[in-house]
C-alpha cells in the first residue's frame, strides 16, 4: 500500500509539473501570437493632411496600414453624403478632429493622445440622430492618399469595425464593407471585405469612411487601422483566416463524426452531446466576432456576450460530468448543486442581455463576462485541486480548463490582429486536439482491453475445456480405482477374515483341548498350548493395529511431531534390533552409513522408524533362508546449498521380487503381490502405511524389483 501511495504521489506531482509548464507555454503562445499578429500603423510619410503611399503595381508589395493622423468628423452619416448635404471639403467648416489614432478597444470614444479639435471649444457631444426611423451614432473618418502610380488600382480593407461601414473615394460611392441595419438578419462573408481605391490622374484619392452604429455600443467606429494592398492576390490576410476557419470546421466535423463512433463506449452519451455543443458555440463565437457572420453592431455585441456566457456554462457542465461517478461528488451536496447554480447565473445574464436594454458602455458587458469566466475557472480549479485531484481524467480536464480560460480572456480582450485570426481560436484548436487524443486513446485502450479480454476468455474456455476433460479422465480413473478398491476391500475382508479366523480357530482349539483334557495333559504340553494362544493373539492384535494405524495416519495430520532427526542414528537403532533377531538364522543384515555425517532431516522419528521397520520386515519375510538385506544411507548434492541437498536411503534384499506389472500397485491399500504366497500372512496394509508416512514428510519413495533377484526401496528426503 505504501509503495502504491508513493507511486500515486509521484504521478500527481508529475502531472502538476506538466500543467504548470502548459500554463507557461500558453502565456508565451498568447504573447507570441499577439506580437506577430499586431496591426500597427505603417508610418507613411504624412504632410499637410496627405499620406504618401509607396505602393506600386508589384503584386508582392507589403500591406500598408493607416492608423494615425486620420481626420474624424462626428455626427456625419452616409445618408448626408448620399443626399448631397455633405461633401469632402465641408468638414473644414464643421467640428472635427485631426491627428486621430485608431483605438482597438474604444473606437472613436478614444481618438488618441495627439488629437486636436477644430471649430469647437471642447470636443462635441456625440448626439443621436434619427433618419429612416433608426436611432444611431455616426461618424466620418477622412484621409487623403497620394499614390506613386496614378494608373493603379488599390484595395482598401477594414477588417475590424463596430458599425455599418460605407466607403467613398473622390466623391464616388464604393459601397458597404461591414455591418447591417436589420437587427436579426445576418449576412455572410469569408475573409475580409475590400473595395477598390482608384486615384485621380494626379494619384490623389480622397477617402471618406462613414460608420453608423447603435447608440448603446461602447466602442463605435474603427477598431483596427485600414489596410491598403496593390493587388487582391497579395491579400493573404483575407485568405489565411478563411483557411483557418475551414480547418477548425473540418476538425469539428472530425469530432462530430468520430465522436458518434467513439461515444458507443460511453456510459453517458450526454457528455458527447455537451462536447458537440461546446464546439458549436466556440465556432459560432468566432464566426460572429470575426464578421464571418455579420449582424448590426448591437446584435453582434449581444450575440458575442450570450455565446461567451453559454460557452463558459457548457464548459463547466462538461468538466463537471467527468466526476459524476466519483465518491466525492456524491458525498458533497455543493458539488452536485454547482452546475445548477452556474446555469442559473448564466440564464440571468442572458435574459439581462436580451431584455435589459443594456448600455454597452466601457465596462458593460465586459465586467459580467470577466467575472463569470473567473467564477467558472475558480470553481473548476478548486474542484480539481481539492476534490478530484488524482482522478484518472484530471490531467486532461486541467488542460481543457486552461485552454478555456485563455480562450475566454483573449475573447474578452478583443485583440484585433493583422490577420483575422483571433488568438483564442488557437486555444480552441489545442482543446480540440487534447479532447480527441483523450477520447481516441481511451477508445483504443478499451478496444485493446476488450481484445485482450476476448483472447483471455478464449484461453479460459480452452483451459476449462481441457480441465473438464481432465476431470472426466480423473473421474473415470477414480471410478476405476473405486472399483479396484471395492475389489480390494472384498479381498482384504476375505484376507482379514481368513487371517483372523486362523488364529481364532487355533486359540479356540487349544482352549477346548485344555478344557477337555484337564489334569490328564502334561504340563509341558499345556505350556506349549498357552504359548500358541498368546502368539495367535498377538497376530490378531497386529492385524487390527495395522488397520487402525493406517486410518489414523490418513485422517489426522496432528499425528506427526516434526523435529530434527539424524537418519544415521535412527537406522543404527533399527539395524541393531533386527541384527539381534536374525542371529542364528541364515539371513544377514548390513548397514552402510557415513562416519562423519549424521544426515539430519526434518521428520517424526517414531513414524520414520515405522517406515524402516516395515521395509526391513518385508525384506526378511520375502527372502529365502540364505538371504542378505542391505541398508544404505548417504547425502547427495554436497556442493550445493543445504536447501538443495537430499538424504537418500536404500533398503535392498535378494528375495523373491515383485512382478513388473505389479510394482506400481504395491503401495495401494490391501494389495498383495500374487507371488507373496499363502504361507506369508498379511493384510497388504504395511506398504500403504509406509507411503502415507513418506508423503506426509514431503519425501519420495520408489521401487526397483525383478522376479527371483530381489527388491530395492529408494527413499529421498530433503536435508536439514
Which ranges constitute the DSSP H helices of 156-233? none
Q: What are phi and psi of 129, to 5 degrees?
A: -115, 155
pLDDT of res. 507: 82
Contact 139, 74 (CB under 8 A): yes
Report d(CA 582, CA 1) in Å as an integer.
67
Task: Yes or no: say if 597 and 663 are a contact pair by the CB < 8 Å rule.
Answer: no
Grid cell listed for 91: 468638414
680-702 core/surface letters (b: 16 or more CB in 10 A; e: else): ebbbbbbbbbbbbbbebbebebe
Instruction: Round to whole Å and give the CA distance between 375 and 312.
Output: 10
- What is the average pLDDT across 358-364? 52
| Cα angle for residues 165, 168, 169 (degrees, 5° grid) | 145
Residue ranges of the domains in the chain?
45-234, 240-447, 491-553, 557-718
Res. 716: pLDDT tops 90: yes
Q: 45-234 belongs to which CATH class?
A: mainly beta
Q: Which of 388-402, 465-479, 607-621 has the lowest mean pLDDT?
A: 388-402
Strands 627-636 and 587-592: parallel
Q: Quote the percentage of the chain above a pLDDT of 70.
A: 77
What angle, 0 to 180 degrees and rounded to 10, lies between the N-to-C axes of helices 423-517 and 394-413? 170
pLDDT score at 11: 66
Q: Which CATH number fits domain 557-718: 2.60.120.10, 3.10.450.350, 3.30.565.10, 3.30.428.10?
A: 3.30.565.10
Q: How many CA atoms lie within 13 A of 228 on its CB side?
A: 28
DSSP line for 28-62: HHHHHHHHHTB------EEETTEEEE---S-TTPP
The predicted-structure confidence for 666-686, as pLDDT tens digits, reads as follows: 887 666 665 555 445 555 677
Task: Give every CB contact of residue 90 below 8 A, 6+ residues apart in sequence.
Answer: none
The average pLDDT across 629-655 equals: 91
Among 385, 396, 257, 426, residue whose Cα is nearest residue 319: 396
Burial 245-280 (b: 16+ CB within 10 A, else e): beebeebbeebeeebeebbeeeeeeebbebbeebbb
Instruction: Please give the distance of CA 689 from its chain centroid, rounded to a whole number.
Output: 58
- 182 or 633: which carries more pLDDT confidence? 633
List phi, psi (to 5°) of 697: -90, 5
Question: 230: Cβ–Cβ under 8 A, 6 or more apart, which residues?
Answer: 55, 56, 57, 58, 59, 61, 152, 154, 155
Using one digit for the tens of pLDDT, what is the confidence trace for 571-598?
999 998 888 888 878 889 999 999 888 9
CA separation for the pair 394, 391 (Å, rounded): 5
Full-model pTM: 0.54
The Cα 109–Cα 123 span in angstroms is 11
pLDDT band at 361 (very low <50, low <70, confident <90, very high): very low
Strands 134-147 and 50-53: parallel
Average pLDDT on 639-655 reads 91
Long-range contacts of 345-351 (CB under 8 A, 24+ apart): 345/372, 345/375, 346/309, 346/310, 346/312, 346/313, 346/372, 349/305, 349/309, 350/306, 350/309, 350/310
Q: Is the pLDDT of residue 380 over 60?
A: yes
What does each C-alpha distance from 664 to 599, 613, 673, 692, 703 come to in angstroms? 29, 21, 11, 15, 8
Lookup: cell for 252: 469539428
pLDDT for 27 equals: 87
User: What's the rounded Cα separation, in Å, for the pair 42 and 163?
Assistant: 24
Provide the grid cell at 207. 477617402
Q: For residue 154, report the phi and psi dihedrals to the nearest 5 degrees.
A: -120, 160
Arithmetic mean of pLDDT over the chain: 79
Q: Decide which of 428 and 616 is more confident.
A: 616
Which of 1.10.1760.20, 1.10.287.130, 1.10.3470.10, 1.10.1740.10 is the CATH number of 491-553? Answer: 1.10.287.130
At 547, list the grid cell.
Answer: 488397520
**Euclidean distance between CA atoms 21 and 24, whole angstroms:** 5
pLDDT in tens, 698-708: 999 999 998 88
527 phi and psi angles, rounded to 5 deg: -60, -40
Amino acid at each position: 500500500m505504501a509503495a502504491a501511495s508513493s507511486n500515486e504521489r509521484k504521478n500527481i506531482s508529475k502531472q502538476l509539473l506538466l500543467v504548470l509548464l502548459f500554463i507557461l507555454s500558453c502565456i508565451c503562445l498568447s504573447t507570441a501570437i499577439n506580437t506577430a499578429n499586431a496591426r500597427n500603423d505603417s508610418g507613411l510619410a504624412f504632410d499637410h493632411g496627405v499620406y504618401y503611399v509607396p505602393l506600386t503595381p508589384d503584386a508582392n508589395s507589403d500591406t500598408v496600414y493607416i492608423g494615425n493622423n486620420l481626420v474624424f468628423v462626428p455626427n456625419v452619416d452616409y445618408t448626408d453624403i448620399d443626399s448631397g448635404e455633405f461633401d469632402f471639403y465641408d468638414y473644414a467648416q464643421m467640428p472635427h478632429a485631426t491627428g486621430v489614432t485608431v483605438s482597438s478597444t474604444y473606437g472613436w470614444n478614444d481618438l488618441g493622445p495627439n488629437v486636436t479639435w477644430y471649430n469647437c471649444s471642447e470636443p462635441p457631444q456625440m448626439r443621436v440622430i434619427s433618419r429612416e426611423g433608426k436611432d444611431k451614432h455616426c461618424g466620418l473618418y477622412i484621409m487623403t492618399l497620394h499614390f506613386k502610380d496614378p494608373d493603379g488600382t488599390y484595395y482598401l480593407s477594414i477588417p475590424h469595425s463596430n458599425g455599418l461601414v460605407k466607403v467613398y473615394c473622390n466623391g464616388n460611392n464604393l459601397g458597404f464593407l461591414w455591418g447591417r441595419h436589420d437587427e436579426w438578419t445576418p449576412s455572410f462573408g469569408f475573409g475580409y471585405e475590400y473595395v477598390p481605391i482608384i486615384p485621380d490622374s494626379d494619384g490623389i484619392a480622397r477617402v471618406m469612411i462613414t460608420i453608423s452604429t447603435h447608440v448603446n455600443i461602447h466602442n463605435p467606429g474603427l477598431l483596427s487601422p485600414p489596410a491598403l494592398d496593390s493587388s487582391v492576390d497579395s491579400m493573404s490576410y483575407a485568405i489565411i483566416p478563411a483557411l483557418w476557419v475551414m480547418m477548425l470546421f473540418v476538425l469539428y466535423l472530425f469530432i462530430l463524426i468520430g465522436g458518434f463512433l467513439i461515444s458507443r463506449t460511453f456510459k453517458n452519451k450526454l457528455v458527447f452531446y455537451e462536447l458537440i455543443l461546446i464546439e458549436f458555440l466556440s465556432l459560432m463565437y468566432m464566426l460572429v466576432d470575426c464578421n464571418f457572420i455579420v449582424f448590426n453592431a448591437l446584435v453582434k455585441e449581444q450575440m458575442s456576450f450570450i455565446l461567451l456566457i453559454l460557452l463558459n456554462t457548457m464548459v463547466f457542465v462538461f468538466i463537471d460530468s467527468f466526476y459524476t461517478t466519483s465518491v466525492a461528488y456524491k458525498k458533497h451536496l455543493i458539488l452536485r448543486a454547482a452546475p445548477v447554480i452556474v446555469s442559473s447565473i448564466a440564464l440571468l445574464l442572458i435574459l439581462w442581455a436580451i431584455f435589459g436594454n443594456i448600455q454597452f458602455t466601457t465596462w458593460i458587458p465586459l465586467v459580467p463576462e470577466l467575472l463569470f469566466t473567473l467564477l467558472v475557472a475558480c470553481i473548476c480549479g478548486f474542484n480539481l485541486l481539492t476534490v478530484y485531484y488524482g482522478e484518472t481524467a484530471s490531467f486532461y480536464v486541467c488542460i481543457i480548463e486552461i485552454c478555456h480560460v485563455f480562450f475566454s480572456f483573449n475573447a474578452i480582450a478583443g485583440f484585433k490582429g493583422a490577420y483575422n485570426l483571433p488568438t483564442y481560436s488557437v486555444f480552441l484548436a489545442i482543446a480540440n486536439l487534447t479532447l480527441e487524443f483523450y477520447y481516441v486513446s481511451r477508445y483504443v485502450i478499451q478496444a485493446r482491453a476488450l481484445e485482450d479480454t476476448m483472447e483471455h476468455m478464449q484461453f479460459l474456455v480452452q483451459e476449462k475445456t481441457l480441465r473438464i476433460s481432465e476431470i472426466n479422465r480423473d473421474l473415470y480413473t477414480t471410478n476405476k480405482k473405486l472399483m479396484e478398491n471395492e475389489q480390494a476391500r472384498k479381498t482384504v475382508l476375505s484376507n482379514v477374515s481368513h487371517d483372523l479366523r486362523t488364529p481364532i480357530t487355533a486359540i479356540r482349539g487349544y482352549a477346548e483341548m485344555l478344557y477337555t483334557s484337564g489334569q490328564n495333559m502334561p504340563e509341558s504340553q499345556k505350556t506349549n498350548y498357552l504359548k500358541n494362544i498368546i502368539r495367535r493373539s498377538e497376530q490378531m492384535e497386529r492385524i487390527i493395529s495395522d488397520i487402525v494405524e493406517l486410518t489414523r495416519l490418513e485422517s489426522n495430520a496432528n499425528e506427526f511431531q516434526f523435529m530434527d532427526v539424524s537418519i544415521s542414528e535412527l537406522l543404527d537403532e533399527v539395524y541393531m534390533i533386527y541384527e539381534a533377531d536374525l542371529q542364528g538364522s541364515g539371513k544377514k543384515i548390513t548397514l552402510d552409513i557415513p562416519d562423519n555425517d549424521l544426515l539430519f532431516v526434518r521428520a517424526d522419528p517414531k513414524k520414520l522408524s515405522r517406515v524402516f521397520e516395515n521395509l526391513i520386515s518385508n525384506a526378511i519375510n520375502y527372502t529365502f533362508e540364505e538371504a542378505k538385506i542391505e541398508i544404505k544411507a548417504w547425502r547427495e548434492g554436497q556442493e550445493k546449498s543445504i536447501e538443495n541437498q537430499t538424504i537418500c536411503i536404500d533398503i535392498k534384499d535378494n528375495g523373491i521380487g515383485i512382478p513388473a506389472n505389479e510394482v506400481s500397485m504395491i503401495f495401494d491399500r490391501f494389495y498383495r503381490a500374487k507371488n507373496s504366497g499363502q504361507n506369508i500372512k498379511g493384510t497388504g496394509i504395511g506398504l500403504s502405511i509406509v507411503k502415507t508416512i513418506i508423503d506426509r514428510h514431503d519425501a519420495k519413495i520408489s521401487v526397483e524389483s525383478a522376479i527371483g533377484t530381489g527388491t530395492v526401496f529408494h527413499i529421498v528426503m530433503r536435508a536439514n
